[in-house]
């Protein structure tokens, strides 16, 4: 015992830098595994953040790279004032919040319901078949999905409109209709992501102690009661975390989906932050203005994450931080 104390004393006397170096050496393989992810966020997330300053400058996109950005004249909050006073501000805010609300109400519970239903399938071959069929759409890009929707919903020879015309009704221009475009966005998102989104909940369901279900069956609980009183409470933590992430992405709005499906005829109901920034920044070269609008969106997204995390903790669930 005395020899052990003598050996441990030098370790306790090490400086913080030496202890940190020792931890890095001891867990070097774990750090190597994390390194690609750290480099990804550094290169593609943190390094480009220096470009945020163009939101406060009159940057014209001239050649010169970083030096041109630094030499651009400061204009303060002018770009923000232009956006908040523009006619597009209210439209972009309204569409972003409304579409996000529709996704939370309809798209978010869909993977949970699918996971609950798949969990009740007793035939393993049938369960694997259902999982495979529901997972497949996730691996299709929105370009492909948009092409399929354009073909199916075509007013001339689309399958849906052929069925409508067979009843004697007039064809419906789904993708150019302001009343149909939002439901199409929600339905297509559910179809594409429901299978892949259910993986997390299925994994959580498999970790539930089966003795709880056996005890519930002994007490006379039916399947619905078991889901309500055992499965859903066990999923509450993961549901809370996924909901926080979903709320935090309210202002992202799935740019790929909307961009590949929308047109000027439905800008009124589909133009959101992402598409508005893209049109002004990439198509019209208003770099400072689009950076200002993007910064507004990022601040709002951060506020929503903090708010949803606090609300989750207040309700007794585990938060992200």
- 155-156-160 Cα angle (round to 5): 55
Q: Is residue 53 part of a domain?
A: no
Q: Are residues 38 and 139 part of one domain?
A: no
Same domain, 10 and 101: no
* Rounded Cα distance, 175 and 150, in Å: 8
Q: Residue 61: inside a domain, yes or no?
A: no
Same domain assignment for residues 8 and 132: no
Residue 50 lies inside a defined structural domain of this protein: no
Q: Where does the pLDDT of residue 7 fall: very low under 50, low under 70, confident under 90, or very high at 90 and above?
A: very low
Q: Taking 90 as the threshold, does the pLDDT of residue 11 lie above it? A: no
Identify which has the larger pLDDT, 189 or 253.
Answer: 189
b/e string for 126-153 if b means 16 or more Cβ within 10 A? eeeebbeebeebeeeebeebbeebeeeb
- Is residue 69 in some structural domain? no
pLDDT at 10 over 70: no
43: left (phi over 0), alpha (psi -120 to 50) or beta: alpha
198 and 269 part of one domain = yes
Q: Which of these ranges, 226-230, 260-264, 316-320, has the smallest mean pLDDT? A: 316-320
CATH of the domain at 196: 1.10.3720.10
Residues in contact with 196: Cβ distance below 8 Å, sequence separation at least 6, in sequence order: 111, 135, 138
Question: Which pLDDT band, with edges at 50, 70 and 90, does 109 fall under?
Answer: very high
- Residue of higher predicted confidence among 316 and 166: 166
Rounded-to-integer distance, Cα 54 and Cα 69, Å: 7
pLDDT surpassing 90 at residue 20: no
137, 145 contact by CB (below 8 A): yes
Closest CA to 79 of 54, 61, 62: 54
Q: Which of 83, 84, 97 has its CA nearest to residue 271?
A: 97
d(CA 196, CA 94): 29
Residues 288 and 190 both lie in one domain: yes
Residue 44, φ and ψ in degrees, nearest 5: -100, -10
Is residue 312 a contact partner of residue 244, using CB atoms and an 8 Å limit? yes
* Neighbour count for residue 181 (Cβ, 10 Å): 20
pLDDT at 9 over 70: no
Crossing angle of helices 142-152 and 181-206, in 10° steps, is: 130
| Overall number of domains in the chain | 2
How high is the pLDDT of residue 8? 45
22 in a structural domain: yes
Residue 97 covered by a domain? yes
Does 290 map to a domain?
yes
Bridge partners of 135, per DSSP, are none
What range does the domain containing 122 cover?
85-314
Number of C-alpha atoms within 13 angstroms, CB side, residue 184?
Answer: 26
Residue 320 pLDDT: 62
Full 3-state SS string of 150-216: HHHCCCCCCHHHHHHHHCCCCCCCHHHCCCCHHHHHHHHHHHHHHHHHHHHHHHHHHCCCHHHHHHH
* Dist. CA 98–CA 92, nearest whole Å: 10
Terminal Cα-to-Cα distance of the chain (whole angstroms): 42
Residue 5 pLDDT level (bands cut at 50, 70, 90):
very low
- In DSSP terms, which residues pair with 74 in a beta bridge? 57
CA distance 292 to 14: 48
**Residue 221 above 70 pLDDT?**
yes
């Amino acid at each position: 015992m005395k020899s052990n104390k003598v050996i441990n004393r030098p370790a306790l006397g090490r400086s913080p830098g030496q202890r940190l170096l020792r931890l890095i050496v001891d867990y070097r393989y774990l750090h190597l595994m994390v390194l690609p992810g750290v480099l990804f966020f550094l290169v593609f997330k943190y390094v480009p953040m220096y470009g945020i300053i163009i939101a406060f400058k009159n940057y014209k996109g001239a050649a010169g790279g970083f030096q041109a950005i630094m030499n651009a004249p400061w204009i303060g909050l002018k770009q923000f004032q232009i956006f908040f006073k523009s006619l597009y501000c209210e439209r972009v805010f309204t569409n972003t919040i409304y579409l996000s609300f529709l996704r939370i109400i309809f798209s978010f519970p869909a993977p949970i319901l699918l996971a609950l239903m798949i969990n009740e399938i007793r035939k393993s071959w049938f369960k694997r078949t259902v999982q495979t069929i529901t997972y497949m759409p996730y691996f299709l890009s929105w370009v492909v999905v948009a092409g399929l929707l354009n073909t199916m919903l075509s007013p001339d020879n689309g399958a849906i409109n052929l069925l409508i015309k067979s009843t004697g009704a007039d064809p419906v221009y789904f993708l150019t209709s302001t009343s149909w475009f939002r439901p199409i966005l929600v339905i297509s998102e559910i179809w594409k992501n429901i299978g892949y989104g259910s993986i997390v909940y299925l994994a959580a369901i498999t970790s539930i102690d089966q003795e709880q279900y056996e005890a519930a069956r002994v007490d006379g609980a039916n399947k619905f009661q078991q889901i309500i009183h055992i499965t859903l409470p066990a999923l509450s933590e993961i549901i809370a975390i996924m909901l926080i992430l979903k709320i935090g992405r309210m202002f992202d709005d799935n740019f790929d989906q909307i961009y590949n499906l929308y047109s000027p005829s439905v800008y009124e109901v589909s133009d959101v932050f992402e598409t508005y920034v893209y049109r002004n920044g990439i198509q019209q070269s208003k770099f400072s203005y689009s950076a200002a609008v993007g910064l507004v969106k990022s601040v709002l997204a951060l506020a929503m994450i903090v708010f949803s995390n606090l609300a989750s903790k207040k309700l007794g669930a585990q938060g992200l931080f």
